[in-house]
Amino acid sequence: MRINELARAKINLCLHVTGQRDDGYHLLDSLVVFADTGDDISIKASVGFSLEIDGPFAEGLSAGYDNLVLKAAKLFEPHCEGAAITLTKNLPVASGIGGGSADAAATLRAMAKMTGAELPKDAGLSLGADVPVCLAEQSCRMQGIGDQITPIQNVPQMAAVLVRPNIAVSTPVIFKAISNKNNTGIMDYDHTDIIKYLKKQRNDLELPARAFAPEIGMCLQALKDLGALLARMSGSGATCFGIFETKKDATDASNKLAKAHPDWWVKACCLGD
């Protein structure tokens, strides 16, 4: 039997950097939602562990044991002889939308279903700071180094467009470039008007990322010009998102962006639970 899981793209609607620990890890405060688009994980029982990668963004990815997908699967080694895994990479890599962390989380869920075993203790955080929130896969407030996850209710579904210019940015480089690492946290969530609420928040990584990759600013401006109610960068970039009034508005904007910028990755989607 084959188990399939969608590794949904993670979107930081806002992201505040609130400190840095002595071990170098940054403290974050973020409102996170998930898109209805992502990578695909397919798993079936096998003898030994193996990984095949296909899809539009498969090129250059290692299928060796340094891949988070295989690391996640091998945590279940006491419960099975192995697993043959296929990762269909639909999301661009190094883009601030979960990527490998979402893939690892989807693998953990699929392996738990295949084996009937519970998730190993601290499985998420042992694989990376973003894996716990991707494992939760619901609208939430993420704090600390990614280990404090608080579900958030009443986050509406939102029509959106994801846009990534044809450039990758380095997360460590962006964090290193932050001038102030002791910023205020996000405000308590107010569900009465999410756009109004989000406009009072920010992404502290956006300015240093835009300095490194001016194309990010171009994406944000393009989304605003097409009528986005809010345009912001997700995570450490370079993916940006625009929230639109309706699905039709988002689809129309997506089509126009893809036509005007054929080298950009553009995807209309829905954000939220």
Poorest-pLDDT segment among 21-35, 118-132, 159-173: 118-132
pLDDT digits (tens, 9 = 90+) for 87-119: 999 999 989 999 899 999 999 999 999 999 999
Residue 121 has a pLDDT of 80
Task: Tell me the average pLDDT of the chain.
Answer: 95
CATH 3.30.230.10 residue ranges for the chain: 2-151
Q: Which residues, in sequence order, are CB contacts of 265 under 8 Å at separation 6+?
A: 92, 95, 162, 163, 164, 166, 239
pLDDT at 1 over 90: no
Residue 209 has a pLDDT of 96
Q: Which CATH fold would you assign to the domain 2-151?
A: Ribosomal Protein S5; domain 2 (3.30.230)
Give how far Cα 182 sits from Cα of 68, 84, 152, 170, Å: 30, 44, 24, 21
- Helix, strand and coil percent figures for the chain, each rounded to 5: 30, 30, 40
The pLDDT of 10-25, averaged and rounded, is 96
CATH 3.30.70.890 residue ranges for the chain: 158-271
Count of C-beta atoms within a 10 Å radius of residue 192: 7
The pLDDT of 187-198, averaged and rounded, is 95
Task: Tell me which of 10, 71, 89, 267 is the catalytic residue.
Answer: 10
pTM: 0.95
pLDDT at 150 over 90: yes
Q: Is 10 a catalytic residue?
A: yes
> What percent of the chain is modeled with pLDDT above 90?
91
The pLDDT of 70-81, averaged and rounded, is 96
Count of C-beta atoms within a 10 Å radius of residue 59: 9
* 158-271 under CATH 3.30.70.890, yes or no: yes
pLDDT digits (tens, 9 = 90+) for 38-47: 999 999 999 9
Residue 122 has a pLDDT of 79
Give the confidence band of 168 by pLDDT, cuts at 50, 70, 90. Answer: confident
Residue 116 has a pLDDT of 96
pLDDT at 77 over 90: yes
Residue 141 has a pLDDT of 97
Residue 94 has a pLDDT of 85
Residue 126 has a pLDDT of 83
First to last CA, the chain: 28
Residue 72 has a pLDDT of 96
- What is the chain's length? 273
Q: Is 256 a catalytic residue?
A: no
Rounded to whole angstroms, the Cα distance separating 241 from 164 reads: 9
Give the confidence band of 123 by pLDDT, cuts at 50, 70, 90. Answer: confident
> What percent of the chain is modeled with pLDDT above 70?
100
Q: Is 99 helix (H, G, I), strand (E, B) or coil?
A: coil
pLDDT digits (tens, 9 = 90+) for 200-247: 999 999 999 999 999 999 999 999 999 999 999 999 999 999 999 999
Task: Tell me which of 29, 39, 103, 130 is the catalytic residue.
Answer: 130
